[in-house]
Structure 1
Amino acid sequence: MEKQEFEVIIIGGSYSGLSAAMSLGRAIRKTLIIDSGAPCNQQTPQSHNFITQDGFSPAQIAKTAKDQVLAYPTVSFLNDKVVQVTGENHNFTVLTATGIQLSTKKILFATGLKDLLPDIPGIASCWGISVIHCPYCHGYEYKGQSTGILSNDDTTLHFSKLISNWTKDLTVFTNGEIKFDADQQQQIRALNVTIVEKQIAGIIHTDGHIESISFIDGTQQKTDALYTRPPFTQHCPIPEKIGCEIDPKGLIVVDNFKKTSVPGVYAAGDCTEAMRSVASSVAAGTAAGALINHELISE
């Protein structure tokens, strides 16, 4: 069967991918978005710090965006998972999990990141609801409440200073023996932040809303919200497989034009930057779409 041909294939159909598709649709580029439907914020009830969309669910924002993007006749959407990318600039072949082969001139990875949550019972069920990573995205809803920070490294002091802006009822949970130095411990305690070294047995919650943290010694501590910044990996391994440079933090390296180290391959959104928010992903996608169109025109 003859491969369908596109000018741009966007792998990842969340905020950055959809935003790029709108730029490309308005530039009358034949564009395909491929998305497998597993965004990292799928449990999050509300998105914040994004003007005009504050308080809407991530799913609502994505649905509205998708409806608006697909109103452009040169843009289409495929519910599938990309499993392979081969070829070179102007002549890429994309293979999906269902066996569909597609051809494209340019590729944009907007595939996001996968958080590697600690192996603590209950934490995955609360992730994005009351176990949170960003005070700008979720801190206002928990201002002044009993709040924890799950952290045990040299970033703990900075994290404690940051979250102290939103609440004074703050506890650092190290989940075991403290690993940061005595000077940092002293500075944290000077903020009137308690440090608890006990090992955590689990998170007690109802529908993702924390009630307390339980410890292996049988005790519990009432907590309303818990901040943590878990390590992450690329949600999609393909960029690295095809030679895209990955930085020491695990992010795809791009230049000011959203280009990766592989000619014809671009990346935007969470997979490329530490500032993870819907608003920044939308901005990055808008830029990526325009820059891809500019390159197509130049060529």
Structure 2
Amino acid sequence: MMFDCAIIGGGPAGLNAALVLGRARRNTVLFDNNRPRNVVTGESHGFITRDGVKPAEFRRIAHEDIDKYGTVRRVQTKIVDVRREGLFFRLATEEGEIVQARKLLLAAGLKETLPSVPGIHDFYGKSLFNCPYCDGWELRDRPLAVIAEQEHAFHMVRVVYNWSRDLVVFTNGRFNLSAEEKSRLSRKGIPVLEQRIASLRGQHGRLESVVLEDGREIRRAGGFVAPQWTQAAPFGDRLGCARNGKGGYVTDGFGRTSVKDVYAAGDTSVVAPSQLIIAAAEGSRAAIGVNTDLTEEDF
């Protein structure tokens, strides 16, 4: 079957794009491998009327909204290949099904690599998080750890400082802060510990302390980590979409990439985790771009 648009990714960007295209009466297929990045998160915040919603509940409501429009087909599978064939795109699922579409929207989002700290996955999504805007309120005024191996450690610390003044920075053996940055943090009463982390201690995912290789144990009641972000799917690169300085795909105001008929939305275009409401808005914007271009071609 030939679709007007194929969407790869069933997160908030892909879901909202499918909703807008469905309402525009466009034959759309949404591919979702049902492995959302926020599966470890208990609640999602910052989306008006949905603040505190559980990710699974958000997806359930979104599916109900989309399913009201008969031109959208949702397929729970993984796309393994995308290629251009003349004026259309050919997509192959892991089951071997072949689908063709006039337009392609990339919304698979990101995958994250956490700092190399033993046991960090036991706490991630429960008391250690990556987005202060999403989870800072719940950790407000607590003694927090900021675990950051990347060069943007200083930026993260400054943001987290809005929610708690009791911070300790752990670089896990990386010397990623300049002398000036450490001095500025010191003036705020924020110590920087550059030793490697030996372990994290706590129960049931609730952080209680950070243990360094020299034996010191620093009591903490949660915190934030700075993962390394990469594209979750390779199709934009394979199709030749240009990247921006942060590794995301370059897009215009309506999600158009540098490759004709290929669009990107959500985290895929910025390579940074965004709140649900931002990703959903970008999905809406890209869907309008898709529909605008289809309309131009049809006339």
Please, which of 246, 250, 258 is the counterpart of residue 247 of structure 2? 250
Partner in structure 1 of residue 146 of structure 2? 149
More deviation, 190-199/47-56: 190-199
> Given the alignment, which residue of 14, 20, 29 partners 1:32?
29
8 Å Cα contact 2:7-2:18 kept in structure 1 = yes
TM-score, normalisation: structure 2: 0.94
- Partners of 2:150 and 2:8 in 1: CA distance: 35
TM-aligned CA deviation for residue 88 of structure 1: 4.7
Per-residue CA distance 1:259-291 (angstroms, 9 max, x = gap): 111111111001112361111001001111122
Partner of 1:158: 155
Gaps of 5+ in 1: none
- Maintained 8 Å contact 1:13/1:35: yes
SS at match of 2:295: helix
| Structure 1 position 113 matched with structure 2 position 113 | no
Q: Cα RMSD over matched residues?
A: 1.6
Question: 2:212 corresponds to which residue?
Answer: 215
SS in 1 for 2:200: strand
- Aligned position for 2:269: 272
The CA deviation at 1:154 is 5.0
> What amino acid sits opposite 1:124 in the alignment?
H
Matching residue of 1:286: 284
Preserved CA contact (<8 Å) 2:139 2:223: no
- Cα distance in 2 between the residues matched to 1:7 and 1:151: 43
Cα distance in structure 1, aligned partners of 2:107 and 2:206: 30
Equivalent residues of 2:13, 2:266 under 8 A apart = yes
- Residue from 186, 189, 200 that aligns with 1:189: 186
The amino acid that maps onto 2:287 is G
Which residue in 2 is equivalent to 1:168? 165
Structure 1 CA distance for aligned equivalents of residues 150 and 99 of structure 2: 45
Cα distance per residue 1:123-157 (max 9 Å; x no partner): 12322322212211100000000101112565333
Does 2:88 align with 1:91?
A: yes
CA contact (8 A) 1:125 1:208 kept: yes
Shift of 1:227: 1.4
* Structure 2 SS opposite 1:171: strand
Answering whether residue 233 of structure 2 is matched by residue 200 of structure 1, we say no
Question: Per-residue displacement from partner, 1:77-122 (whole Å, max 9, x unpaired)?
Answer: 1111111111257411110111000111111011100111122122
Distance in 1, Cα, partners of 2:152 & 2:5: 40
Q: CA deviation at 1:177?
A: 5.8
Tell me, in whole angstroms, the C-alpha distance in 2 between the residues paired with 1:220 and 1:89: 61
Number of residue pairs matched by the alignment: 296
Contact 1:83 1:95 (C-alpha < 8 Å) held by counterparts:
yes
Q: Which residue of 2 aligns with 1:138?
A: 135
| Structure 1 residue 182: Cα displacement | 1.8
Would the aligned equivalents of 2:115 and 2:226 in 1 still touch at CA under 8 Å?
A: no
Find the counterpart in structure 2 of residue 237 from structure 1: 234
User: What TM-score do you get using the length of structure 1 for normalisation?
Assistant: 0.94
AA at the equivalent of 1:201: A
1:230–1:294 distance in 2 versus 1, CA, 3 Å: same
> Secondary structure in 2 aligned to 1:23?
helix
